A and B are shown apart, each in its own frame.
Chain A
């Protein structure tokens, strides 16, 4: 295989890795915040509507009095979608978080719809539990971007036409008749 072809294949493989998928966030919008039993818990997620796939939800646990981060808490998120009885239980840890003050975990929200989330936090004898809902909207698809592709194709077509007409007008009608 020629060197150029190999490079093209490498480039294609790299681009192949960039396949569309859901995001994996760190921080973002505040989805849930509560202070209880001496704990203050805040849960963050993507600032924009969630789409199916991996969504990173991150949690900060603080002492409610002085807002010092608590790093040795046990943080569990239980997710269930709509009326389904099956639920997803995820342990959030510092390891998954880019900001190590946070607890995080890659959570797969498989389908669009309304999900119910139950957050359970325990730090020593102190405990906090709270529920909230997440709305997962269908992901972006080709139908959303085709007008932008079409714009490029249209402009290229018009440019090509323009060049062809310019060429014909430069060469003159006798040439075009011939």
Chain B
């Protein structure tokens, strides 16, 4: 294969947002189709599912395959891409009769509350009817097809990527509209007699052939842009145009002729009356479906009910912790070459945030620091109860602030020895505290990382809670809390029927195993929903009466921005300037001052300012609504490091394995390749992911603020005014976050090889290679 062909065939560009959107649409359709195919099997046979999925696949091919990579070089290639976008993909998607499956695929609440008002709006219904009228659909195709093929429009699309996107969007939308009257997906009704589809298609084919003829027979290059770009395989711009015209003329005509033949055949065939058969859904099917329960997932659910997966993960984490400590002390001082520099600060943090975002508090589930507690419980006869006065989050909050300061001031990411020391200190502290005190006192009242996780898990989508609360009313044993001879109860003293949200829940699943009624699951719920109400929570009380928890949430939220800001240029320059002002040749005072500002002073000022006209209870509940934004910023920050440094762990592992003489033979792992590892995920993709995360965080926080204000304010007009200070605060944080992620970050403690911005000189590379 020639290098050019090879280059072309490998020119796939997978646009992550598009892939995620199409995958989500596919999932939604599949979910809805599964339900509808049981109730209306004649309307939703499997081939509809196949058509819809094939349509999505063709759409992805059109925008991500080499067709898209070459569209600026070859008109013929561009034409093929447009045929996919305008005729093939939309036709297949409309054949999937997508409206009902997509609506049924949505959670019932979303379909009812978010889309219901639009669907019931008379004005919008009129618009929809006008838009799907066959005359409109046909005219839209005509206008879009001819309009975008005018030289100035077509060339603008070639020159400006944004216009190119608009052009493709127009083609796809026009295609969807064009095929609507042809397919007339159920339950829509035909506005014109069915025979009219035949002239509709033939006339559309005629206008398309006319345009194709102009391209083919004009004898001059209509789009000079293609004359200016490098020509491939010696094909001139004019020949390229002729080929493109021929593609548009012959294969594209099939898109009109074949459906027209099919329509005639259908008109002449006896109608299949059975297609209208409707099976009334059973009461079980009509009842709102139960929320997703992770413990009901086959195999995984059964596994999670046992303690083995947690023990296995904890064992693995313990092994890794031992490796990190050993390498941190005895390994190389360069953090990017050391397990203690890479595993905790590149992988572990990023994966934890992903876990929080898509599931819940997986850190505590996998925490190896709880293993000493198990040991302590065996050693001590009976521990003391944690002092009543100290049963708050203040100590954990103080330790968390100290941890943030230590991280910055001691450059923990860059000091493997210090990281190793921190891990040892953690193990010793956990063991000592749990040796002296009963229960999970360390986790609940002291552990800074655990409480960092607890606070953010309030916005996580999965929650350990009872499935049917009424079943708990007859329970007299309360095994979920007290335990029983076979299984222990919740060591964090959470009584499940009164547990709301993930605060203080370590996902240990002891309660699941202890419950004799099998009434506890890991249930899906809208992220942040538990913050909309302020019920009494087991072992916590009302959150609005807990200043310590509110302070923890504020520090975690603002800390996300302060921590990320500390890694970008202006802040570093400011530190250097302050360093000169202090004149003590140390960055410590400047860093400490900026951190104190970002994590203590600014949150306090912002909290007081935004809530100055509200009661203490209202203000505290509003502050908790900012948690999703903080979670988004932490995730954006840590996932940036994880995405960019995904490959950085392999050479470190190679070095460690080589040092341990675990090589199973020469060449199995090879020598560490410190160079040549480009960032695993590109800058643009990382930025896109970060910005979308921030968008989602802001929107969730704004929604919570809106709902909380709505519940607090009687007159509807007062809602906007009252929510404004908090909305402005959320917006300010969002803008700060956007700026931070767009400014180049330090890739601290990471060694990732060749940057796209540099060329390597490896003429003499010592003994490493």
Contact = CB atoms under 8 A, between A and B. Distances in A.
Interface of A: 4, 7-8, 10-11, 14-15, 17-36, 40, 44-51, 53-56, 60, 64, 69, 95, 98-99, 101, 106, 130-137, 140, 144-145, 148-149, 151-152, 155-156, 159, 161-162, 165-167, 169
Nearest to A2: B612
Q: Is the interface of A mostly helix, strand, loop or mixed?
A: mixed
Contacts of B411: 98-99
B688 to A, nearest CB: 8
Contact of B759 (A22, A56, A133, A166): A133
Contacts of B609: 4, 7-8, 11
Contacts of A17: 570-571, 574
Contact size range, B: 35 or more
A133 B764 CA distance: 17
A21 B738 contact: no
Contact of B568 (A24, A101, A151): A24
B751 A30 contact: yes
A10 B573 CA distance: 20
A32 B758 CA distance: 8
10 contacts: A21-B743, A22-B744, A23-B744, A33-B760, A34-B761, A54-B569, A98-B748, A165-B118, A165-B121, A166-B116
A44 B757 CA distance: 12
A24 B118 contact: no
B335 A27 contact: yes
B767 to A, nearest CB: 8
B701 to A, nearest CB: 11
A159 B705 CA distance: 13
B297 interface: no
Nearest to B117: A165
B12 interface: no
A116 to B, nearest CB: 10
B120 interface: yes
Interface of B: 113-114, 116-118, 120-121, 333-336, 411, 414, 565, 567-574, 576, 585, 587, 597, 602, 605-606, 608-609, 612, 644-645, 674-675, 679, 683, 687-688, 691-692, 694-695, 698-699, 702-703, 706, 716, 732, 734-736, 738-740, 742-766
A35 to B, nearest CB: 4
A7 B568 contact: no
A156 B702 CA distance: 9
A64 B766 contact: yes
A51 B744 CA distance: 8
Contacts, number: 222
A28 B752 contact: yes
A32 B644 contact: no
A48 B683 contact: yes
A30 B602 contact: no
Given A21-B569, A33-B761, A132-B759, 18 more contacts: A7-B608, A17-B570, A20-B739, A22-B569, A22-B744, A24-B568, A24-B573, A26-B748, A29-B751, A33-B762, A50-B744, A69-B333, A99-B414, A106-B576, A130-B761, A140-B743, A148-B738, A169-B117
Contacts of B568: 21, 23-24
Given A27-B336, A30-B675, A47-B752, A137 B757 contact: yes
Contact of A35 (B716, B759, B764): B764
B744 A106 contact: no
B711 to A, nearest CB: 14
A53 B752 contact: no
B757 A106 contact: no
B758 A134 contact: yes
Given A48-B679, A48-B683, A101-B334, A10 B118 contact: no
Nearest to B682: A48
A48 B756 contact: yes
For the complex of A and B, 4 pairs with smallest distance between CB atoms: A23-B744, A35-B766, A165-B117, A29-B755
A36 B764 contact: yes
Given A18-B570, A144-B687, A30 B753 contact: yes
A18 B740 contact: yes
Contacts of B747: 25, 27-29, 46-48
Given A29-B754, A49-B756, A51-B744, A151 B739 contact: no
A34 B675 CA distance: 12
Nearest to B333: A101
Contacts of A132: 758-761
Contacts of A106: 573, 576
A47 B755 contact: yes
A27 B758 contact: no
Contacts of B608: 7
Contacts of A161: 118
Contacts of B572: 24
Contacts of B695: 148, 151-152, 155
A54 B702 CA distance: 36
B573 A18 contact: no
B569 A23 contact: yes
A25 B744 CA distance: 8
Contacts of A15: 732, 735-736
A11 B732 contact: yes
B123 to A, nearest CB: 9
